[in-house]
Amino acid sequence: MSDNLNINKKYKTPEEVLKVLFGYDTFRPGQKDIVDAILDGRDVFAVMPTGAGKSLCYQIPAMMLDGITLVVSPLISLMQDQVNSLNEAGVSAAYINSSLSDRDLFETVKKTGNGEFKILYVAPERLMTEGFIELAKSVNISMITVDEAHCISQWGQDFRPSYMKIVEFVKILGKRPVISAFTATATETVREDIVCTLGLGNPYVLIGGFDRENLYFQVDKPKNKEQYILDYIANHPNESGIIYCATRKNVDSLYEILADKGIAAAKYHAGMNASERKQMQDDFVFDYKSIVVSTNAFGMGIDKSNVRFVIHYNMPQSMENYYQEAGRAGRDGLDSKCILLFSPQDIVINRFLLEHKEVADIDPADLETIKERDNQRLQVMERYCYTTGCLRNYILKYFGENHENPCEDCGNCNREFETLDMTDAAKKIINCVYEAKGRYGRGIIIDTVLGAKTARLKEVGATNYKSYGVLNSIKRSMLMRVIDQLVYEKYLVVGDYQVLKMGDIRRLKDSATSVMVKITDEDKRPEKARKVNKKVAEKSSLTSSGYKLFERLRELRLEIAREENMPPYIVFNDKT
Ligand code: ADP
Ligand code: MG
């Protein structure tokens, strides 16, 4: 064990703390290594799925180290829950946040100064206040834990500018404590950002498996979502479930519909007052009501293990959100369903919500990046709803886990798809990407081969391409599928900003090689419905400044891409 950390003698081993204080016999995967690393004085960064048991990873070493552990946590309700259960376990823990009365705050500060607590939860906003700095300097802080650490990254799904105060705070402490950071969702970019921003030194990094084998993923596109939900509930009596809606209005109306049918549900959204929300939350958590209809305001920090299904009434804004929300199903390890009900209208709603999202305290320069990021995330989510591939693999791949084989246990794996030979279209698309010199995303490529008459195509000169209009008789969604397949088979590569680039196309030169594409019934339906919605989407986007910013960024990307030299590939002529 390192000499810059003092270990107290109260407990001999982490196993003893686990047993005596928390009543568990064995560590879960990953926990022990993290505890050991911290006790060795090493910084830790751990990405573990919801319910994996991240709290114990820092609470156990906190009990064994001399001094106090500060836990930075984003939500008051999270802090309260954690502190309550620690106190029940006999651990002296407390929190400091805006919910405390002046008197309680005074008491807590006094007791902290007297070294009465082993663990203190703080809101990030508190850290750099004068009073807190003074207090912090007067006590022995052995560790700082950053819970929900993705909040520190501008690339994380709920960036909290106040999380940046952690960095300043650590700097002003006389002695640098061990820093441990935990999150459930983080893509590679976010991971790097967290490690770098927090200044973790040679941290012990644990990226836990994201796969939740007991969750069954499914995407459905019902004509009538309300009826679908009513049927589902009727077929799964007494099962506990969460139904997420994108807006408060949706929550209210779906709640009414369920109530009309005599289904006892709770509802939850930020427009309700605190006592109503608490009541509804308790009704659900304590199983007085088996179903809750809610916005994404519901769920963080709620530890209800027997949720059998999570239905999304609308497509969420990102895969991070989706996996976190869907992941609230089946925390007890029993089979549970995660069903996403998709309609093209969801894309319109989400664009609108993203454009009107309030981002506090943000440098206007960062705003562009954030808009671009939000847009990319939405596209990832949209493709999840359209993919014919394994849904589980799609999710896991997004979080950096590559699985060779389809899971054989999700809505898509269990569905019969028709396959079509799309070799000819595939080659034409590859030609177009070649002509575009790897500068554009799939939108422009598809518009080009479709021969669309947009200002954008004229502007970039794509109307003069040989590929312009060569696939004008094929449906847009089919072309999307072809591109997905080309990317999957690595004939095309997705570069920065989602531009399409040439991959290795040598294999396709062999006339025996074909490109087979799985299609759905929707692919065969006429395109009308989607076109109408697309128009609405574009209109709502164009009116907003967010869209303009996004366009500017696109220009910038173009500039960069122009600099790039294309490798001398031979593309397909009409005879190949
Ligand atoms: P996370 O923060 O990773 O989402 P929590 O720390 O809230 O998860 O833990 C989820 C649940 O798992 C809690 O009820 C916790 O008591 C339980 N738990 C954690 N570690 C263990 C363990 N080693 N054995 C049994 N249960 C555990
Ligand atoms: Mg947690």
Contact 136, 115 (CB under 8 A): no
**CA-based max dimension of the chain:** 84
Does 82 sit in the ligand 1 pocket, CB within 6 Å?
no
Residue nearest to atom 13 of ligand 1 (CA): 53
Q: What was the pLDDT predicted at 2?
A: 47
Does 28 sit in the ligand 1 pocket, CB within 6 Å?
yes
Q: Which ligand is nearest to the CA of 324?
A: 1
Q: Which ligand is nearest to the CA of 89?
A: 1
Does 303 sit in the ligand 1 pocket, CB within 6 Å?
yes
Chain centroid to Cα 548, Å, comes to 25
| Separation of CA 148 and ligand 2 centre (Å) | 7
| Separation of CA 74 and ligand 2 centre (Å) | 11
Residue nearest to atom 26 of ligand 1 (CA): 24
| Separation of CA 98 and ligand 2 centre (Å) | 21
Does 83 sit in the ligand 1 pocket, CB within 6 Å?
no
Q: How far apart are CA 553 and CA 573, in angstroms?
A: 34
Q: What was the pLDDT predicted at 561?
A: 39
Query: Would you call 275 exposed, middle or buried from its count of C-beta atoms within 10 A (0-12, 13-18, 19+)?
Result: exposed
Nearest atom in ligand 1 to the alpha carbon of residue 48 is 3
pTM of the model: 0.68
Q: How far apart are CA 37 and CA 73, in angstroms?
A: 22
CB count within 10 Å of CB 34 equals 29
| Separation of CA 497 and ligand 1 centre (Å) | 38
Chain centroid to Cα 567, Å, comes to 35
Nearest atom in ligand 1 to the alpha carbon of residue 24 is 24
Q: Is the dihedral of CA 23, 26, 28, 31 positive or negative?
A: positive
Does 301 sit in the ligand 1 pocket, CB within 6 Å?
no
| Separation of CA 236 and ligand 2 centre (Å) | 29
Strand-strand pairing, 240-244 and 93-96: unpaired
Q: What was the pLDDT predicted at 534?
A: 46
| Separation of CA 101 and ligand 2 centre (Å) | 26
Contact 298, 268 (CB under 8 A): yes
| Number of residues written out for the chain | 576
| Separation of CA 56 and ligand 2 centre (Å) | 9
| Separation of CA 83 and ligand 1 centre (Å) | 14
Q: How far apart are CA 210 and CA 221, in angstroms?
A: 26
Query: Would you call 433 exposed, middle or buried from its count of C-beta atoms within 10 A (0-12, 13-18, 19+)?
Result: buried
Does 428 sit in the ligand 1 pocket, CB within 6 Å?
no
DSSP state of 61: H
Label each residue of 435-499 as H, E or C: HCCCCCCHHHHHHHHHCCCCHHHHHHCHHHCCCCCCCCCCCHHHHHHHHHHHHHCCCEEECHHHC
Per-residue CA distances from 520 to 221, 223, 228, 417 (Å): 11, 15, 20, 6
CB count within 10 Å of CB 520 equals 17
| Strand spans (E) along 2-136 | 44-47, 68-72, 93-96, 119-122
Q: How far apart are CA 233 and CA 258, in angstroms?
A: 10
Strand-strand pairing, 204-207 and 265-268: unpaired
| Separation of CA 26 and ligand 1 centre (Å) | 11
Q: What was the pLDDT predicted at 375?
A: 83
Cα atoms found within 13 Å of the Cα of residue 490, Cβ hemisphere only? 3
Nearest atom in ligand 1 to the alpha carbon of residue 27 is 23
Contacts of 52 (CB under 8 A, 6+ apart): 28, 29, 30, 184, 208
The interface predicted TM-score of the complex, written ipTM, equals 0.99
Smallest CA-to-CA distance from 433 within 566, 322, 288 is with: 566
| Separation of CA 520 and ligand 2 centre (Å) | 39
Per-residue CA distances from 218 to 215, 239, 392, 418 (Å): 10, 18, 9, 18
Instruction: For residue 170, give both structure tokens.
Output: 């650590």
Does 48 sit in the ligand 1 pocket, CB within 6 Å?
yes
User: 77, 121, 303: which to mutate for ligand 1, most atoms within 8 A of CB?
Assistant: 303
Q: How far apart are CA 266 and CA 277, in angstroms?
A: 9
Does 300 sit in the ligand 1 pocket, CB within 6 Å?
no
Does 19 sit in the ligand 1 pocket, CB within 6 Å?
no
Nearest atom in ligand 1 to the alpha carbon of residue 49 is 3
Residue that is written with structure tokens 């065969």 in the block: 524
Instruction: For residue 539, give both structure tokens.
Output: 């209109």
Does 52 sit in the ligand 1 pocket, CB within 6 Å?
yes
| Separation of CA 21 and ligand 1 centre (Å) | 13
Residue nearest to atom 12 of ligand 1 (CA): 53
Q: Which ligand is nearest to the CA of 56?
A: 1
Does 55 sit in the ligand 1 pocket, CB within 6 Å?
yes
Residue nearest to atom 5 of ligand 1 (CA): 53
Residue nearest to atom 23 of ligand 1 (CA): 27
Where the chain has pLDDT below 70, the residues are 1-4, 156-157, 300-301, 358-366, 526-576
